[in-house]
Amino acid sequence: MTLDEVRAALAGVRDPATGRELLADNRAEPRLSPGELVLGIDLISPGYPLRAELDAAVRAALEPLCGAAGHTLRIEYGLRVPSKPARQDLNRLPTVKNILAVAAGKGGVGKSTISVNVAMALKQFGARVGLLDADIYGPSVPKMLGAPARETTTTADGNRIQPAIFRGIPVMSVAFFVEPGNAVVWRGPMIHKLLKQFLEDVEWGELDYLVVDLPPGTGDAQLSLAQLIPITGSILVTTPQEVALLDVRRAANMFSKLEVPVIGVVENMSHYTCPACGHHDNIFSSGGGKALAHDLGVELLGQIPIDNRISFGGESGIPVVEAHPTGEHAVALAQVAARAALALSKLSATGPKRSSLLRTLS
């Protein structure tokens, strides 16, 4: 068996997510050793949801060759996340490949909970992740990560800010710079200056993803803040009922104005399962997230139930994906992270259509 034969057998094998050939994209690298063919494959996203499909396609292409040559086949999966800055003119973060904004039409729907757990899940999947709490009105990310109030330092030359690091995730938050409860009295220009510094003067390091918890709402303040940040794609968080959906549609319009693709919808507090009797209750009616995702032409990234392990994760400073990683809530949140990451990578691989940014995944 020769490497040329291996490459010939692999020629038609495509990434099922993008439809692009592994070899043409330099994502597959075969190596031969006595009695063994090792194929290194760089996946396009952490927690890649179509891995079983890709694995089967690769094995189907290579196993006849290996069988004939008496070689075993070993596949080694790695991760190389593509990047596509949303707006070149806003590219203030050259070391950050993707900025994933988490947004909602209104407060209290679980935006910070989703931000924190998605960031931790991406980290668990092996990605390099940072977390920016841009919610100037209610910065809650540090508390959700069990962080003391002020943790940042400056670099040796005094010119750059080192973010706080929590469980391997660099974090910046308005909460580090104000006394608790004071953030709301800040004037717009001060907030803008601070957020600009968070983007330009912070040593984020090499990141695959910077997850940004945006402030709730769709007013001018939110619009101008969202404009400061070169967002690659955004997730919209909603609860299932109609009134919440009206607000979140406004948020979708805001991103459309900013030419930021909405990559998916998360329906939070989707339902409640009684731990004692197993009864399933749709507290806030049902189906809203699915309807919204359908209307926007994007993916429903997940339906997260109401559960006190999720709220306790926020209170205790240990997010549920870390506290109970194999529990169904953690798995649902990790799935949101994996699907969102894949959606971003697909954007990079295929590019959004400018005229229909809200329909990139349809």
Ligand X SMILES: Nc1ncnc2c1ncn2[C@@H]1O[C@H](COP(=O)(O)OP(=O)(O)OP(=O)(O)O)[C@@H](O)[C@H]1O
The three-state secondary structure class of 164 is strand
Kindly tell me which residue out of 27, 71, 97, 111 binds ligand X, with binding defined by CB under 6 A.
111
Min dist. Cβ of residue 60 to ligand X (A) = 40
Kindly tell me which residue out of 18, 112, 232, 360 binds ligand X, with binding defined by CB under 6 A.
112
Binding mask of the shown chain, residues 245 to 274, with x at each position contacting ligand X by CB under 6 A? -----------------------xx-----
Residue 133 binds ligand X (CB under 6 A): no
Report how far residue 198's alpha carbon sits from residue 201's, in angstroms, rounded to the nearest whole number.
Answer: 6
Kindly tell me which residue out of 314, 332, 339, 343 binds ligand X, with binding defined by CB under 6 A.
314
Residue 113 binding: pick among Mg ion, ligand X, none (C-beta 5-8 Å cut-off by kind): ligand X
The three-state secondary structure class of 124 is helix
Residue 297 binds ligand X (CB under 6 A): no
Contact 233, 342 (CB under 8 A): no
Residue 138 binds ligand X (CB under 6 A): yes
Report how far residue 44's alpha carbon sits from residue 348's, in angstroms, rounded to the nearest whole number.
Answer: 10
* Residue 117 identity: N
Contact 10, 62 (CB under 8 A): yes
Using the rule CB under 6 A, give the single segment among 11-19, 133-141, 203-211, 343-351 that binds ligand X.
133-141
Residue 304 binding: pick among ligand X, Mg ion, none (C-beta 5-8 Å cut-off by kind): ligand X
CB of 82 or CB of 313, closer to ligand X: 313
Residue 115 binds Mg ion (CB under 5 A): no
Site for ligand X, residues 162 to 221, rule: CB under 6 A:
216
Contact 175, 139 (CB under 8 A): yes
How large is the angle between the packed helices 220-228 and 188-200, nearest 10 degrees?
20
Residue 112 binds Mg ion (CB under 5 A): yes
Using the rule CB under 5 A, give the single segment among 112-120, 159-167, 202-210, 336-344 that binds Mg ion.
112-120
Tally the residues of the chain. 362
Q: Which residue in 43, 131, 44, 132 sits closest to 83, CA to CA?
A: 44
CB of 48 or CB of 176, closer to ligand X: 176
Contact 249, 103 (CB under 8 A): no
Q: How far is CA 50 from CA 15, 54, 300, in A?
A: 9, 6, 16
Contact 204, 170 (CB under 8 A): yes
Min dist. Cβ of residue 319 to ligand X (A) = 10
Using the rule CB under 5 A, give the single segment among 51-59, 133-141, 203-211, 253-261 that binds Mg ion.
133-141
Query: 98 is written with which tokens?
Result: 């993707």
Residue 109 binds ligand X (CB under 6 A): yes
Interface residues toward Mg ion, by CB under 5 A? 111-112, 140
